[in-house]
Structure 1
């Protein structure tokens, strides 16, 4: 690779939610001007929204962090609060409830459109960049190659542009090009499951309740949205998913009703259905010389606990804090000490959430009778064991240090 033409303090690979949040956090928390480049092989597109808009579950901690960054103001009207979580096992007695009022909170979390989150992040990013700082965007122009040097990392983009930086942050998703170029291995587990995702409407108002319903066919998550819609995530076997995707909307609604029950009354509208296979993928290491992995580039989770993006936000908060401290101390942003601290601080949280989601998958996708009985006893007991319930709630709410 020849000498680079444009030098930055930090290059962020990936302009999606994690990359945008990373850039905004760096500028918001920085005590000095920064030069940052965002590069992405995809176009910077605007989603059409509407009934079928894709959504993400934000933990209370993630929403708090977005508020710290100034992005919540433009987002809050599009976000629907989760005030109660209702966990139950179809055809069995086990039930558990988590209520925001028990923790003196207005909400346990929120459900917000993906595009609204992205728009809010980029809108606030423009506000947060000081006159002495630089934010350059290279969309439809992702990283083609990386050359790691002692004092900087050089990258060549797909259109031939050459950039360099002290630090490269890989926020480029589950198929991370940066991770591949760095030859970082991953561990993966195919759950042998498929998720059907759709927005639905019900006869009864959801009243800000989120449901996790464990049925004979597989776990059903129903998350509250604005306009009395719900976001459905139904985990099925591959054959069941194929059969369910082939049903008419009316047939699908009837089948869903039979599995979910009458908690929200009849399903009155079924939006566009999409399906995708479910795997657990996590990187064996999350740093390389002058590079760190964040978000789905280092962990892709089962959606059963809705923790994927929230774990990514905590990656962002940790890296931002370390960079801010390095700037205050006048240190090299890509030095080993910073990257080692990131690895040490993030691995325990990532491991804990991976273990939690993996355990939930095996516990609630299993029809072995002793395990079914055990999980129902556990669900019932959860309502009467305040300490354990609080621990679970705090884990899923994902509080983030400022």
Structure 2
């Protein structure tokens, strides 16, 4: 896609930068933010003039509907700087479409492209020095929207705030991940908001994940709400299973997020000649594959880590551990995708978009 620009942004630059106080070699993911943010309010049925201003806290009425009825959505994106100091976005059109799909599901107004994409473009230009070079370095981008209308009547807000904040990031190393397959708790249900990047989806995962952590597991593989037999997502990521030489992942649905990393990996796998199947994968099928050694790999896929390998899983109090194969699909696909994102290899898919 080409970036739709806007000239209607009021810009107030920070008088001083905090960039010199940041240790870019030792970043905690999502803890450090750049000098500026982008903001645009929706009032009286229309989007107002957007602004870029110094990053700072802001005030809301205690009765703002985001606090009471949870109208809040977000996206996760990344930007990369190449060796010529150009900044590139990865598939921003997909994030833009998914954000507005989430907005529609949560009865929130859609954000125009010139505000979402155009505003992001200008924000990245202003904070360009914060985007670091090198494979493994990136700028994590968090667009989000909250309901700011005042009042505790249970109906959609009439006012909203759309914002974009930026956080420099290093390569995301989660270490060895062990997961437990959910037998009681569910991430989402049919007819619900599982396919939206709604804040409440993530809040609802915290308690079951805390229970899993206490038992020595880092994440949960969520199962369908009706039967708890179909494997759906891993923690906050889509999940892939390699059985023999076939890569499997669940189809998207009302319960499963349409992950951008997920669809990118499927396309790259097919280009590499890896057989893929998008279908329901049963917990019993995974156990049987683990027992007969046909289960080669499990990995999560998402914006933050790109790919997060899973060492083993527990189901019905039985633990199954895997040995990483010499021809790891996870390693191959991660190398291919991060190389493309960092402009170290040719983008034959047309997924990268230059900030200019």
Query: Is the structural similarity TM-score above 0.5?
Result: no
Query: Which TM-score applies when normalising by structure 2?
Result: 0.26
Query: Which TM-score applies when normalising by structure 1?
Result: 0.24
Query: Highest CA radius of gyration, 1 or 2?
Result: 1
Structure with more helix by fraction = 1
- Which fold has the larger relative contact order, with Cα–Cα distance below 8 Å and residues 6 or more apart in sequence? 1
